[in-house]
Amino acid sequence: MTERDASWPDLPFNEWQATAETLHMWTQIVGKIRLTLTPWINHSWHVTLYVTSRGLTTSPIPHGLHMFEIDFDFIDHELRILKSDGGVRALKMRPQSVAEFYNAAMNALDELNLHVKIDNVPNEIADPIPFDQDQTHRSYDPEYANRFWRVLVQATRVLTKFRSRFCGKCSPVHFFWGSFDLAVTRFSGRAAPPHPGGIPHLPDRVTREAYAQEVNSVGFWPGNAASPTPIFYSYAYPEPQGFGQAKVRPAEASYSAQLHEFVLPYDVVRTAPSPDDVLLDFAQSVYDAASTLGDWDRAALEESSLNPPKAVA
Secondary structure of 22-72 in the HEC alphabet?
Answer: HHHHHHHHHHHHHHHHCCCCHHHCCCCEEECCCEEECCCEEECCEEEEEEE
Q: What digits encode the pLDDT tens for the residues 32-73?
A: 999 999 999 999 999 999 999 999 999 999 999 999 999 999
Does residue 158 sit in helix, strand or coil?
A: helix
CA distance 227 to 25: 18
Q: Is the pLDDT of residue 313 over 60?
A: no
The answer to whether 208 and 243 have CB atoms below 8 angstroms apart is no
For the segment 284-313, the average pLDDT, to the nearest whole number, is 83
Which sequence spans correspond to the domains of the chain?
10-133, 153-303
Per cent of the chain over pLDDT 70 is 96
Nearest to 303 by CA among 166, 187, 158, 163: 166
For the segment 116-145, the average pLDDT, to the nearest whole number, is 97
| Preceding omega of 142 cis (within 30 degrees of 0) | no
Q: What digits encode the pLDDT tens for the residues 161-178?
A: 999 999 999 999 999 999
Q: In this predicted structure, what is the pLDDT of residue 3?
A: 85
Average pLDDT, rounded, for the chain = 96
Q: In this predicted structure, what is the pLDDT of residue 259?
A: 94
Q: In this predicted structure, what is the pLDDT of residue 276?
A: 98
Q: In this predicted structure, what is the pLDDT of residue 309?
A: 61
Q: In this predicted structure, what is the pLDDT of residue 150?
A: 98
Reported confidence tier of residue 2, pLDDT bands at 50, 70, 90: confident
Reported confidence tier of residue 181, pLDDT bands at 50, 70, 90: very high
Question: Phi and psi at residue 190, in whole multiples of 5°?
Answer: -115, 155
Nearest to 5 by CA among 282, 253, 272, 283: 272
Does residue 200 sit in helix, strand or coil?
A: coil
Reported confidence tier of residue 4, pLDDT bands at 50, 70, 90: confident
Q: In this predicted structure, what is the pLDDT of residue 5?
A: 82
Q: Is the pLDDT of residue 83 over 80?
A: yes
**Residues near 183 by Cβ (< 8 Å), separated by ≥ 6?**
171, 173, 174, 176, 217, 218, 219, 220
Handedness of CA 307, 53, 172, 162 (dihedral sign): positive
Positions of E strands within the chain? 50-51, 55-57, 61-63, 66-73, 78-83, 88-92, 174-176, 181-191, 213-221, 231-237, 254-256, 261-265
Q: In this predicted structure, what is the pLDDT of residue 306?
A: 57
pTM of the entire predicted model: 0.96
Q: In this predicted structure, what is the pLDDT of residue 311?
A: 59
